[in-house]
């Protein structure tokens, strides 16, 4: 286990350390992760069904899907993203697009965090949700990034309940994830949950415990 028990603790630490000017969160739900943002950070949240009762100060919530948001990201106002958090639809190829779009609009020294990258078991990492805790197959996003973007630093931190991946070394001009999207999806879709045991989580996910 890392020094941090939960992904909320680790997310709060990133806000304290980085003090991002602009934080973009894909998937805000009830706003629990938004509540960890420090004063002085402008927030853009994206969610087709936000349920945030009291948004924090300096927060714009755009009620749409991430794909639609990034097709015309006017709410960014041209400002680079210092810290991005991908926690939207828990299907890996969607998360890959979210990471690619966050990177395209990132500051070069920006950071992207990806929730749910260290799955618990086969059932909670299935494509269809049948459990309360549900990571979906988001972990495959990390496998894809490590294979197809070896220039990035991609590590998965073992925090409860289902891990948090940290992506740095971003290159907003790199178009590999867009240009090779179909090839990436075809190859990475072949991985199954038991490959995490067969090949190992350190190898596939860059797991840090």
Ligand X SMILES: C[S@@+](CC[C@H](N)C(=O)[O-])C[C@H]1O[C@@H](n2cnc3c(N)ncnc32)[C@H](O)[C@@H]1O
Q: Does residue number 19 form part of the binding site for ligand X (CB under 6 A)? A: no
Stretch that binds ligand X, among 13-21, 25-33, 119-127, 191-199 (CB under 6 A): 25-33
Nearer Cβ to ligand X (106/135): 135
Instruction: Name the β-bridge partners of 45.
Output: 25, 61
How many chain residues touch ligand X (CB under 6 A)?
15
Task: Identify whether the C-beta of residue 169 lies closer than 8 Å to the C-beta of residue 124.
Answer: no
Closest-CB residue for ligand X?
Answer: 27
Q: Does residue number 48 form part of the binding site for ligand X (CB under 6 A)? A: yes
Q: 208 vs 23, 35, 64, 85, 165, CA distance in Å?
A: 24, 26, 34, 19, 10
Q: Does residue number 32 form part of the binding site for ligand X (CB under 6 A)? A: yes
Least spacing, CB of residue 151 vs ligand X, in Å: 26
Q: Does residue number 47 form part of the binding site for ligand X (CB under 6 A)? A: yes
Nearer Cβ to ligand X (29/155): 29
Binding mask 62-91 for ligand X (x = CB under 6 A): ---xx--------------------xxx--
**Binder to ligand X among 49, 54, 128, 197 (CB under 6 A)?**
49
Q: Which two tokens stand for residue 139?
A: 């972990």
Q: 187 vs 131, 183, 192, CA distance in Å?
A: 27, 6, 12
Peptide bond before residue 161 is cis, with ω within 30 degrees of 0: yes
Q: Does residue number 33 form part of the binding site for ligand X (CB under 6 A)? A: yes
Torsion of CA 79, 90, 27, 107, to 10 degrees: -20
Q: Does residue number 129 form part of the binding site for ligand X (CB under 6 A)? A: no
Residues 6+ apart with CB under 8 A from 206: 142, 146, 154, 155, 156, 165
Nearer Cβ to ligand X (27/73): 27
- Which residues of this chain interact with ligand X, rule CB under 6 A? 26-29, 32-33, 46-49, 65-66, 87-89
């Amino acid at each position: 286990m890392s020094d941090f028990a939960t992904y909320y603790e680790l997310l709060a630490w990133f806000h304290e350390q980085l003090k991002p000017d602009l934080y973009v969160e894909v998937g805000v739900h009830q706003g629990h992760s938004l509540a960890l943002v420090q004063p002085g950070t402008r927030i853009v949240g994206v969610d087709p069904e936000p349920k945030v009762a009291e948004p924090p100060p300096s927060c714009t919530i755009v009620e749409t899907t991430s794909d639609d948001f990034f097709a015309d990201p006017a709410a960014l106002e041209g400002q680079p993203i210092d810290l991005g958090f991908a926690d939207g639809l828990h299907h890996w190829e969607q998360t890959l697009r979210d990471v690619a779009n966050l990177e395209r609009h990132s500051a070069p020294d920006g950071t992207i965090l990806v929730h749910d990258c260290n799955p618990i078991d086969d059932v909670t990492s299935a494509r269809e949700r049948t459990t309360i805790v549900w990571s979906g197959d988001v972990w495959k996003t990390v496998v894809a990034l490590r294979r197809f973007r070896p220039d990035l630093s991609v590590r998965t931190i073992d925090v409860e309940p289902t891990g948090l991946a940290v992506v740095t070394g971003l290159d907003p001009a790199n178009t590999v994830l867009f240009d090779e999207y179909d090839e990436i999806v075809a190859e990475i879709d072949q991985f199954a949950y038991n490959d995490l045991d067969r090949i190992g989580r350190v190898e596939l996910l860059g797991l840090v415990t």
